[in-house]
Amino acid sequence: MHNYSEMILHVVFNLENQKQKISVDLLRQKLIWEADKSVLLESKIRSLIEKGYLLKENNSLLLTNKGRIEATGISKAMVKDEFSKKIDRLTRSSAYLDFCEEVYGYRVYLFNMMDKQQLDFVLGSIPLSADDTILDLGCGSGSTLNLLVKKYGCRGIGIDQLDDDILDRPSMAITYINGDIDRISDYSLKPTVTLSIDSLYFSKDLDKLVQQLNSIENNKMYLFYSQYIFDEVFGDKSILHSHNTKIADVLNKNNISFRTIDYGENERLLYENSLIVLKKYKKAFEDEENLDLYEQKLKEVMMGLELYDNNLASRYLYIIDGM
């Protein structure tokens, strides 16, 4: 169990990674433990500032270099723990599989903001043949990679931090690396196509990761990325533009040219549909003793819908054609 200050560093780290301006109110809103939202928060923030982990500039909280080093380790461990528990349970839930089939249009376990149209793009419009090797960064349970490998007879490499037994790996053509997307250079990979679906938010150094992927010869990239603004008042709306998101900043900084497909409306509709479908399966989740997962999912979906209703979200596929 992590302590209160660690939780604050974790949340600040993740918000910074998503290009958010961080007010104390936003931090309070994002802390997941009820106890953390208490009056103690301000004194904890003061103490983290005094110890040199945080800075306050123009009412915005920032990590110092020392704070970022500390927060990186804490956050990695917390993200791993959260996803492992969640995906481990969801991949054993038949209510969740039924839910996936209805919202994603494929009867496979998925943990992303794709709808059928986006999945069909991945499965039908990425130029792939049997000679290709596709790398799926943050592959989750490996569902999309499996569908691609089955369809094209290509090789697949999935990287995730989940234990091997969570992974659905029916084919010998798939190699699973139980590892870290920030350590891809250690794995000496030579993909011809790199896919990342809703996983880049968790890189601790997106700039370095993108540089490494870009240095692989003939490696096309397909990166799905949603950009949100969590603070309506304080947030800068321009970051929702396709050339201004966090991933676009990194691509631009490295002079990597890209094309985008706007999937904002798809994500909004996915939330709308998920809300309807989820409610239908409430009893089934309850019967499996997974009511907490149902409630967690409901909260995620309602938050996504609210962001789109308030024009505080966008989603794009970034396509990098490779050299």
Ligand X SMILES: C[S@@+](CC[C@H](N)C(=O)[O-])C[C@H]1O[C@@H](n2cnc3c(N)ncnc32)[C@H](O)[C@@H]1O
Decide: 90 and 109 in contact? Cβ < 8 Å. Answer: yes
Query: Is residue 84 classed exposed, middle or buried when 0-12, 13-18 and 19+ CB atoms within 10 A define those classes?
Result: middle
Is residue 140 near ligand X by the rule CB under 6 A? Answer: yes
Q: In the range 248-287, which residues lie near ligand X by CB under 6 A?
A: none
Which whole-number Å values give the CA distances from 183 to 72, 101, 177, 197, in the listed order? 14, 33, 11, 18
Q: Which is nearer to ligand X, 21 or 70 (CB)?
A: 70
Decide: 315 and 114 in contact? Cβ < 8 Å. Answer: no
Stretch of residues binding ligand X (CB under 6 A), selected from 30-38, 108-116, 125-133, 235-243: 108-116
Q: Which is nearer to ligand X, 23 or 118 (CB)?
A: 118
Reduced to 3 states (helix: H, G, I; strand: E, B; else coil), residue 320 is strand
Query: Is residue 148 classed exposed, middle or buried when 0-12, 13-18 and 19+ CB atoms within 10 A define those classes?
Result: buried
Is residue 83 near ligand X by the rule CB under 6 A? Answer: yes
Closest contact distance (angstroms) between CB of 237 and ligand X is: 24
Instruction: Pick one of 31, 74, 78, 181: the residue that binds ligand X (CB under 6 A).
Output: 181
Is residue 47 near ligand X by the rule CB under 6 A? Answer: no
Stretch of residues binding ligand X (CB under 6 A), selected from 192-200, 245-253, 264-272, 273-281: 192-200
Instruction: Pick one of 15, 139, 167, 209: the residue that binds ligand X (CB under 6 A).
Output: 139
Phi-psi region of 183 (alpha: psi -120 to 50; beta: other; left: phi over 0): alpha
Mark residues 295-314: x for contact with ligand X by CB under 6 A, - for none. Answer: --------------------
**Long-range own/partner contacts, residues 176-183 (CB < 8 A, 24 or more apart):** 176/139, 176/142, 180/76, 181/137, 181/138, 181/209, 182/208, 182/209
Closest contact distance (angstroms) between CB of 78 and ligand X is: 10
Is residue 191 near ligand X by the rule CB under 6 A? Answer: no
Decide: 87 and 141 in contact? Cβ < 8 Å. Answer: yes
Closest contact distance (angstroms) between CB of 144 and ligand X is: 6
Instruction: Pick one of 110, 213, 229, 313: the residue that binds ligand X (CB under 6 A).
Output: 110
Reduced to 3 states (helix: H, G, I; strand: E, B; else coil), residue 207 is helix
Mark residues 158-177: x for contact with ligand X by CB under 6 A, - for none. Answer: -xxxx---------------
Is residue 115 near ligand X by the rule CB under 6 A? Answer: no
Stretch of residues binding ligand X (CB under 6 A), selected from 39-47, 184-192, 193-201, 274-282: 193-201
Decide: 314 and 242 in contact? Cβ < 8 Å. Answer: yes
Q: Which is nearer to ligand X, 182 or 249 (CB)?
A: 182
Distance between CA 250 and CA 214 in Å, rounded? 12
**Which parts of this chain interact with ligand X (CB under 6 A)?**
79, 83, 87, 110-112, 138-140, 144, 159-162, 180-182, 197-199, 202
